[in-house]
Amino acid sequence: MPTITKSNIDYDKRNLSDKALLKLYYNMLKPRLIEEKMLILLRQGKISKWFSGIGQEAISVGVTMALKPSEYILPMHRNLGVFTTREIPLHRLFSQWQGKASGFTKGRDRSFHFGTQEYNIVGMISHLGPQLGVADGIALANKLKKNGQVTAVFTGEGGTSEGDFHEALNVASVWQLPVIFCIENNGYGLSTPTDEQYHCKHLADRGKGYGIESFVLDGNNVIETYTKIKKLAESIRKQPRPILIEFKTFRRRGHEEASGTKYVPDELMTEWEAKDPIENFRSFLFSEQILNQETDERYTNEIKTEISDALESAYAEEEIIPNESEELSDVYKTFYFEEVISNSKAKELRLIDAISEGLRQSMELHKGLVIMGQDIAEYGGVFKITEGFVEQFGKDRVRNTPICESAIVETGMGLSIAGMKAVVEMQFADFVSSGFNPIVNYLAKSHYRWQQAADVVVRMPCGAGVAAGPFHSQTNEAWFTKTPGLKVVYPAFPYDAKGLLATAINDPNPVLFFEHKALYRSCLLYTSPSPRDRG
């Protein structure tokens, strides 16, 4: 039992009960004890890597406890407290880190790069930024469903330098989405200090530029974190809007353990060790006679026993034997195509009208389908494919977007996670380069990573021959045909275009739908299928 000293953090327990305070402590203690065990296992070669969140537990625990279990959280590697506070069984987490079948990725990733619909957690990818836009999509689904739910998403101070951060905040502000953006400002992005990451006093100040409320919180003060987020979440549920939170904290271990911390000045490390969120909260609870040594030891022993039992269970699980057939079949979610036999009379229809008709009928069929793109609402898109859609379906489902291809693709992914469908229009296929990362690294890999469908169609007007110049004429389907997890469709005739678009929208996998502009006004005899379900 450590020596109990006076707390270096100024706590105000407000109106929290002793039971609530003890729960906050227990939930912080659990990830700390797990991490201490993981560091031992890492040195023993029993796990391959570890990204430590020691010293940052108050943020993960405070935010997670402030939200409802049904509300999505999008954490990062140093947010173990999110997973444990959501009460994921430890043997499943340990199996995940050891590449066992009881984990969440079938052994394909031995890290936190996974999600779980069972616990409403959506893990990050190494590119960091895309999860911010995905949170926008989940929040948009919540707003459209009017279910009064909040989404919380984490990033580090380094991640705020990415364009995805700015795009996601702007979209959330313009659409007033119920999402809490949580920045863990922990001093270093790998070895790069904050003064080389940004040139402002507080990252929270960036919220002003987007018209977003923002706050700076002591990320090591679990009471401040929990009570403030709880209050904000309650407010957002009643009045949907985004909020930006900057948590001041510190990363006391390396980016990963192999990185070390030689670049951190000794005095800085000492300063933050004195602000340890668990040691200080323990001291406070003892001073208030809320916690005693017997209870503290009981908590520790209980958690250590749970860790030991879960590790034993994970170790006992057999190693995964690679199966090529299963690996290949998991690249795509199973989709059962149902052919529709037309019973309509043949009519002459241009390819552009066939696409518009297919999109309109799909909107009528799928009430949870949202289409997004630049100038697609009242203007009807630069090619007028969605002309009249706003009048029929409303602006909630036909959404003009800012110029931010990356965030809108990510928003489509978030809608899919929340059980909806999305069609994203690239104004020209050339512009997809600005949204390339989330397409090839998020949409394409989600089902293979954690069996999550990416129910997104990206429409791509493409091709030369219309005197549009080099930035509006590329035929760039080759960028995507070599990416496992994506489907690429390129129709040549109106009949094919309508049927393939309807099928692409029915398909729960990500589809890149190319439309050659020079063919838009070509006319062919066309038999229109009935608007019933095509897949």
* Domain boundaries, given as residue ranges, for the chain: 18-316, 346-527
Taking residue 301's Cβ as centre, other Cβ atoms within 10 Å add up to: 10
- φ, ψ for residue 184, nearest 5 deg: -90, 95
- φ, ψ for residue 218, nearest 5 deg: -75, 105
Structure token digits, residue 259 = 């990185």
Residues with catalytic roles: 472
> For 229, which DSSP code?
H
> For 475, which DSSP code?
-
Cβ neighbours of residue 82 under 8 Å, at least 6 residues apart?
60, 63, 64, 73, 75, 121, 154
Quickly list DSSP for 128-157: -THHHHHHHHHHHHHHHHT----EEEEEET
Short-list 355, 349, 346, CA closest to 376: 355
The reply to whether 18-316 and 346-527 are identical in fold is yes
pTM: 0.95
Label residues 39-58 b or e (16+ Cβ within 10 Å = b): beebeeeebeebbbbbbbbb
- Which pLDDT belongs to residue 528? 57
Distance CA 193, CA 154 (A): 19
Distance CA 250, CA 268 (A): 9
Structure token digits, residue 50 = 């570890």
- Which pLDDT belongs to residue 338? 84
Distance CA 76, CA 347 (A): 54
Distances (CA, A) of 398 to 5, 227, 379: 59, 37, 11
Q: How many residues does the chain have?
A: 535
- Which pLDDT belongs to residue 339? 81
**Domain 346-527 belongs to what architecture?**
3-Layer(aba) Sandwich (3.40)
Superfamily of domain 18-316: Thiamin diphosphate (ThDP)-binding fold, Pyr/PP domains (3.40.50.970)
Distance CA 511, CA 241 (A): 31
- Which pLDDT belongs to residue 375? 96
**Beta strands of 136-290 (E only): which ranges?**
151-156, 179-185, 188-189, 192-193, 213-218, 243-248
- pLDDT one digit per residue (tens) for the chain, 535 residues: 455 678 899 999 989 999 999 999 999 999 999 999 999 998 998 888 888 999 999 999 999 999 999 999 999 999 999 999 999 999 999 999 999 999 999 999 888 999 999 999 999 998 999 999 999 999 999 999 999 999 999 999 999 999 999 999 999 999 999 999 999 999 998 899 998 989 999 999 999 999 999 999 999 999 999 999 999 999 999 999 999 999 999 999 988 888 889 999 999 999 999 999 999 999 999 999 999 999 999 999 999 999 999 999 999 999 999 999 999 999 999 999 888 777 777 788 899 999 999 999 999 999 999 999 999 999 999 999 999 999 999 999 999 999 999 999 999 999 999 999 999 999 988 999 999 999 999 999 999 999 999 999 999 999 988 877 888 888 999 999 999 999 999 999 999 999 999 999 999 999 999 999 999 987 665 555 555 444 3
- Which pLDDT belongs to residue 345? 75
Amino acid at 131: Q
